[in-house]
Amino acid sequence: MYIQILYKQFKIEKIIKTEVELPLPKKTIINLIYTENWMMDKINIELKVFDISVQQFNVLRILKGQKGKPANLSTIQERMVTKMSNTTRLVDKLIAKGCVKRIVCESNRRKVEITITQQGKAFLNKVNPVMAEFENKITANLTKEDLTLLNILLNKLRNSN
């Protein structure tokens, strides 16, 4: 009963202003896409204050997670949440901000390693608490069980092929 009330109250058809009842698979896909765009807008607003994009923030977190060990561009690309082809451009922007450094291997000039700088770590130490608070605020309407179930369902959806 509770789910039916919520389902009617927040129907995606109402949000996108269509009177047609969408088939459940289509409704689900539209709802996921709509929610992803809504979420990205909210995240961008939070990060705009720090003059950093979501992708740059992601690169910094990946490099910090390396625990001092350098990463190459393909490692960063593999671990990106948002897959994009221009990881080099992201790294270049972070170099310009002093957050990361690029080291060219002397024995193999094609091998490039990227590490986070102290300035990059300090920057993350400033941004991470703000983002943690944002994540808690944005998921506040969901219980721990809701969040666990949502993650299970999203994982299940991605593993359908």
Q: Helix, strand, coil % (nearest 5) of the chain?
A: 65, 5, 30
pLDDT of residue 109: 73
User: What is the value of pTM for the model shown?
Assistant: 0.83
Domain ranges of the chain: 1-48, 53-133
CB-hemisphere CA count at 13 Å for 135?
Answer: 7
pLDDT of residue 47: 97
- Whole-angstrom Cα distance, residue 120 to residue 132? 18
- 96-155 tens-digit pLDDT: 999 999 988 777 777 789 999 999 999 999 999 999 999 999 999 999 999 999 999 999
Which of 32, 37, 38, 31 has the alpha carbon at shortest distance from 16?
31
Q: Is it true that domain 53-133 has CATH number 1.10.630.10?
A: no
- Whole-angstrom Cα distance, residue 99 to residue 96? 8
- 55-94 tens-digit pLDDT: 999 999 999 999 989 998 888 998 888 777 688 899 999 9
